[in-house]
Structure 1
């Protein structure tokens, strides 16, 4: 949406007569048309709302018409083409709003940015490279880590995504007599069948001695009979 009719390359009939903001106040729509974002990018069906104080971009309209995705970061945002991965535009955060004021492809694709500190640059590279370990990044770009240790950075996303399970708490309970407690587990089916037809196995582990018995199985339904043999 825009408040300036000079922004339009051509005008069309607006699809609505008014718009409503977050607090319910409505503003009249007096026109519509196509707005040129750059020499190669334009948005059709842009509304003319004279009472607006800022020009507003609809995220859904951007992603649909430009076939792009919008990447939101703490201090800036990027518009990226879905197929070519080319950066179409870049905006900066000022106050509580993101101002997308750079649709120059040569500049928008430049990864350099006026960051406040090296730490923000390290975090940006960490996200763009797919969350590698900071020790690896320190070897990859040592100049950026001058004055920092890899232990200075902790990524919650890495911790959650790379943790396969919650660690088991250490147990101080241990049987003092053999065969008081037996641990058992069944594994299979194996993707490769042994020449003898075996695809499964079951283990019985004595908690006291850690002695392990292993039985090979052709079918999972043999577990009970193997347990009976072990019990005897």
Structure 2
């Protein structure tokens, strides 16, 4: 984890403030939305503009919702009324300090110090935003990844873990493929690739796509996805992929495993297979298990894409962009089948 900076961020505990206000770095915001308050009037009568409204995690674990970001403000204000309502806690004030307690458990969750006539909640400021967020936020940022995957990301070790219920995960991941896990049968990148087509979807993506082509490398489990308006352009994308492998990785695809889809058995592709020395392996009719690697990858991609869309509230026609985002994420997450390395590590 990143080292901490030597100074602290002080929050004034203000019983008269109706909203949390910060003048600190906007990068600390986890979620940023347009300002719903055009300006805030300060005690001297001056009105100063609100730039944005968002939520943030303090390093001590407090999650502050609806925080006003005002760069021209001279301090950070912590609203007592908002905090007691949002965190279900109580404040008790003493001559030299104040304490925050969780109402149900009566557990001490924070301490403020009295200084120059004010009570301050002091939080060590970290150099990296990663230090101030919980596992739930990383779970959402990394495509609703499991705790097991997060545990193997070294830069996230030691962060605060929360086991909150994740509604998008439950809604998006209600089914599982019955296929058993396939062992890796190759010894180098692109010795064999698994290909399959998914679609048509019930509506066009914003780019007009109804299908997508998935290509999975057997050795690294890296995945590439191409959005398509129709299946007829499969040969174009498959040849384009093989050329990319040859140029960027100085490797040649030796075998291609697919189902019995006619899109992989066109005259154009048969001629390309012959010229390139590529062997085509097809599964038996009505036996998708024989193409299980890419079938499972489809299910993984679709589940995570649904979770991302549910979490973000994006319109349905952004499904294609969600798919591409998911592929970017899972190529960078550790996988147990490749010794908890990521496909990106294996490839580069």
TM-score bracket for this pair, using the shorter chain length: 0.3 to 0.5
Q: For CA contacts below 8 A with separation 6 or more, give which structure has more relative contact order.
A: 2
Whose helix proportion is higher, 1 or 2? Answer: 2
TM-score normalised over the length of structure 1: 0.42
TM-score normalised over the length of structure 2: 0.28
Q: Higher Cα Rg: structure 1 or 2? A: 1
